[in-house]
Structure 1
Amino acid sequence: MGAEESKGINYGLMGPTTVVANMNRQAQAARPWSLLHMCSVDQWKSGHAEAAGFSETTMSCNGVVFKDCSPTFCISRQGIINLNKSHSLFSFRRRNKFTKMAEHFEYNHIPAQLSSIQNFHVKSVLCYHESTVVLHLVRNMMTQFGVIDLETNKFLGVFGKKNVEFVNEALRGEISPDGTVCLIKIPSIKSDNNSAFVFQLFCLKKRELIREVTLPFHHSLFAFDPRFSSSRIAATSFLRGEDNSLSLVQTDSWSVLRTNPRVDDMHSSLNPHLKDIFFAKDGYLIFAIMVSSGAGCCCREKRARRMQPVDVCVYIFNADTTQTLHCIQYNRFICAIHSCPVNYLPIFSNCGSRMAIVLNDKETQYDHLQIYKLPTTGSLQNRCRIRILQQFQYPDIIQRLPLPNRLIQYLQFQPEFA
């Protein structure tokens, strides 16, 4: 159960063509959770990723979370750079308070719109989906949210009540798979309890609050189920008294459909170890990422490796029953508190049936990747989708296939077909 299975396996001499043949052969015969392939980070970038059916090649980032990156937006993976302007459009704001993400969006994507609204500035990227980006904005020391359409490069407007200014660490957001709503976790200003948080569901088109619910724990996380557009989420520690639980929740009533009371077998509470939860592309699996916090921040020591690696656990659950299915454990030489999530989050192949992780062996300083086979679940229709996608090395080809639009949408994991 974990990356220890990889010892003694060496794919270092494989070229991309050999990787394709090896993956096709092993993927058919191997059992779920089996290790299919291992390579170095350099080999991954030079052709192994594409040969194994993955589009993403950026697997590490030196950005600091909540300063350079956010839990859902990476400056390396999304190509955001630090823009050095000779003058500031916002003279009231000191230059040393800008973050890389804030500079990029404030000066590059929406300068005209934000400059026309005095005292507004970007604090961070809260979440994004396709071409829609939701920003954490601050005006006169009050937090609000802004919506940008990157395809048209337009600032669509502001939403959310004018609250006190919140730190980026206190907020968490996600746009639904169909792009219609945005769910945000935010501190509650109505409660006498300073640690109280709420889920707020907003309509992005009208930029209005639809409904909200108070959370029993401040560290609750959530993710939209891609099979149900915006009507179902998975949420951790959603029930009162269940600090180590995973629940399936209906967003129209906040009613709980299923609950797993034991997410992490190694800790009694998910705080502060839980970093993220998310669904597989087809929606049939839920992943929870647990990272040991160790002795605290080790940003200064990580370059010289004068520290112990952190333990990363990927717990996998059935998305219909919340039953625990598997756990993969591995080590990373990163700061568990400030490291960009790209350094420890797994990625998935274009067909959604393979998962890749970056890990370190304790006795070496080199990063390498491992690819695991995921179980093929769901309907016959979903199984056919996986097989079809495995036949095309480049996902852009799907758009050009002579198929009905709804079938192409289904092959692209869009929820409208579900």
Structure 2
Amino acid sequence: MGAEESRAGNYGLMGANSVNRNMNKQIQRARPWSLLHQCSVDQWKAGHAEAAGFQETIMSCSGVVFKDCSVTFCTSRQGIINIKSGPIFSFRRKSKFTKMAEHFEYNHIPAHLSSIQNFHVKSVLCYKGNTVILHLVRNLMTQFGIIDLHQNKFLGIFGHQTVEFVNEALRGEISPDGAMVMIKIPSLKTGNNAFVFQLYDLDTKQLVSEISPPYNHSIFAFDPKSCSSRLAMTSFKEGHDNSLCLVRAASWDILAINSRVDDLRTSLHPNLKDLKYSLEGNILFAVMVTSGCHCREKRTRRFQPIDVSIYIFDGENAQTLHCIQYHRYACGVHSCPINYMPTFSYCGSRMAIVLNDMETSTDHIQIYKLPIYGNLQNRCRIRILQQFSPEIIERLPLPARLINYLRFQPEYV
């Protein structure tokens, strides 16, 4: 059964075992970017996701970004629920802080920081593995906190600012080795609404380097193939507002540039929502959505879909490889990003998206084959991960370094 039959919806009647067999058969002969499978969200949750090699079963969330979820942390996907607030939360405080903030403040912030030193959680800035970076506020000033979820331990505070920032103004990402974090914050040195990138060492909690990009909407992503020394950045070069650059961290040297990311626009603002690498780092994805608010309007019940375009680039030279476009009944301004962002399989060779046909608001999941780059070692990793689940990988009688490689963790972790 090929991709065209999948597009017609014949996979809807398949059980999980049939999905697994068909996926293994198709993956050998299908070309890159081919549609491998399509199913409903309910079928995805009922076993199609696991059979196709995906860990994420939650592909939609009713949470509002910066109210229930953050750009990187979904309360539904991470299983965070609204705790029952006791006397520790006054009515005034509960009205100011989200369910996500309440969860972390109640369960992970030491009591003396919350009650005595007056630290409050505003949101989750970013996370990687068991490390979570929180946006904290004390006396109307922003700071950042580090939490180790594995040890359930608060590791300290860094990045003291002299003002309190709104969550929407911040963006952060932890490096692949967990040693650094890059944070985008409004600049306090100029009055033209400029932003600054700050690179912090998470061990010493000291500022390593900073730079002001030429455009306020510039975003970034760490390269998984490097320790913490290389990033991808959009609109990073002066005069190139529609560009993608590969940049050396700390020195900020541009290693490669694609000066035309979006063929339809001269600027990536305000359509660009996110920039992310594939698991092994050989491919880059820039997610563009229709600008403006597309929430359901209560009086007319009018619900406009957004157009989502995923531009795909080579992770080594930033050159354009492909583009996938689809429709989604969501809002790119207020919806939790998992409603339109792609997710990747265990093996890293497949991408899943949730989309809607124009004729109906029913949610569908589609799986696409990604091109496989790299050496024989990477190809062997993909084949092994297509045969064994992550739980089995952990128990294989292999050296720790090889286990880490199979889990897409850097060898230096």
Q: Are 2:410 and 1:412 aligned? A: no
Q: Deviations over 1:69-107 (max 9, x none)?
A: 111100000011112313235x59532111111111011
TM-score (norm 2): 0.96
Q: Tell me the CA shift for residue 301 of structure 1.
A: 3.2
Q: Note if contact 1:68-1:101 (Cα within 8 Å) is conserved in structure 2.
A: yes
What is the Cα deviation at residue 304 of structure 1?
8.7
Kept after mapping to 2: 8 A contact 1:227/1:415: yes
Choose which of 392, 396, 405 in structure 2 pairs with 1:401: 396
Cα–Cα, structure 1 residues 144 and 93, in superposed 2: closer, same or farther, change >3 Å?
farther
Structure 1 residues 360 and 305: alpha-carbon distance in aligned structure 2, compared to 1, 3 A threshold: farther
Matched-pair contact (CA < 8 Å) for 1:302–1:333: no
Q: What's the CA shift for 1:402?
A: 1.2
Specify the code of the residue in structure 1 equivalent to 2:377.
Answer: Q
Classify the secondary structure of the residue corresponding to 2:402: helix
Q: Which residue number corresponds to residue 121 of structure 1?
A: 120
Give the aligned partner of residue 41 of structure 2: 41
Q: Structure 1 residue 362 and structure 2 residue 361: aligned?
A: no
3-state secondary structure, aligned to 1:22: helix
The aligned counterpart of 1:389 is 385
1:135-154, aligned counterparts within 5 Å?
A: 135-154=134-153
Q: Secondary structure at the match of 1:137?
A: strand
CA contact (8 A) 2:294 2:305 kept: no
Contact 2:294 2:304 (C-alpha < 8 Å) held by counterparts: no
Q: Deviation at 1:6?
A: 6.3
- Look up the SS of the partner of 2:19 in the other structure: helix
Alignment of 1:203-214 (within 5 A): 203-214=201-212
Q: Secondary structure at the match of 2:335?
A: coil
Question: 1:224–1:234: 8 Å Cα contact kept in structure 2?
Answer: yes
Report the residue type matching 1:349 in the other structure.
S
Q: Which residue in 2 is equivalent to 1:188? A: 187
What is the 5 A alignment of 1:17-416? 17-89=17-89, 93-193=92-192, 195-293=193-291, 296-301=292-297, 306-392=302-388, 394-416=389-411
Query: In the aligned structure 2, how far is the partner of 1:29 from the partner of 1:267?
Result: 36
- What amino acid maps onto 2:409 in structure 1? Q
Which one-letter code corresponds to 1:108 in the other structure?
N
Encode CA deviations 1:244-272: one digit per residue, 9 max, x unaligned: 11000100301000000111112211111
Secondary structure of the structure 1 residue equivalent to 2:104: helix
Letter in 1 for 2:175: S
State the Cα deviation string for residues 188-244 of structure 1 (Å, max 9, x = none): 101232x21111000111111011011111111111101102110001011111111
Q: CA 1:50/1:302 → structure 2, altered by over 3 Å: closer, same or farther?
A: farther
Contact 2:210 2:250 in 1 (8 A): no
**SS of residue matched to 2:124:** strand
SS of equivalent residue, structure 1 residue 342? helix
Do the aligned partners of residues 159 and 9 (structure 1) sit closer, same or farther apart at CA in structure 2, a change above 3 Å counting?
same
Post-superposition offset of 1:119:
1.9
Pairwise CA distance, 1:162: 2.6
Superposed displacement of residue 118, structure 1: 2.1
How far the C-alpha of 1:116 sits from its partner, in A, is: 4.8
The letter for the 2-side match of 1:114 is L
Q: SS of 2:159's equivalent?
A: strand
Partner secondary structure for residue 24 of structure 2: helix
Normalised by the length of structure 1, the TM-score is 0.94
The whole-number CA distance in structure 2 between the counterparts of 1:397 and 1:318 is 31
Deviation of 1:307 after TM superposition, in Å, equals: 2.3
Q: Which runs of 4+ in 1 moved over 6 A?
A: 3-6, 302-305
Give the Cα–Cα distance (whole angstroms) in 2 for the partners of residues 228 and 27 of structure 1. Answer: 28
The one-letter code of the counterpart of 1:132 is: T
> What SS does the corresponding residue of 2:161 show, helix, strand or coil?
strand
Post-superposition Cα deviations, 1:4-44, rounded to whole Å, max 9, x if no partner, equal 99643421110011101110111101000000000000000
Tell me: CA distance 1:79–1:375, structure 2 relative to 1, closer, same or farther (3 Å): same
CA distance in 2, matches of 1:113, 1:221: 35
Gaps of at least 5 residues in structure 2 are none
The count of residues paired between Structure 1 and Structure 2 equals 411
Q: Which moved more, 1:320-329 or 1:105-114?
A: 105-114
Distance 1:416 1:252, change over 3 A: farther
Quote the Cα distance in structure 1 between the aligned partners of 2:168 and 2:241.
20
Counterpart AA for 1:383: R
Q: Distance in 2 between matches of 1:4 and 1:407?
A: 38
> Match of 1:114, SS?
helix
Which SS does the other structure have where 1:69 is aligned? coil
Q: Give the Cα separation in 1 of the matches to 2:101 and 2:4.
A: 40
Which one-letter code corresponds to 1:366 in the other structure?
A: T
Q: Is the alpha carbon distance of 1:287 and 1:209 closer, same or farther for their aligned partners in structure 2, counting shifts above 3 Å?
A: same
Residues in 1 aligned to 2:259 and 2:4: alpha-carbon distance in whole angstroms: 28
Shift of 1:396: 1.4
Identity of aligned residues (%): 68
Q: In 2, Cα distance between the equivalents of 1:304 and 1:183?
A: 43
Asked if 2 retains the 8 angstrom alpha-carbon contact of 1:106 and 1:114, the reply is: no
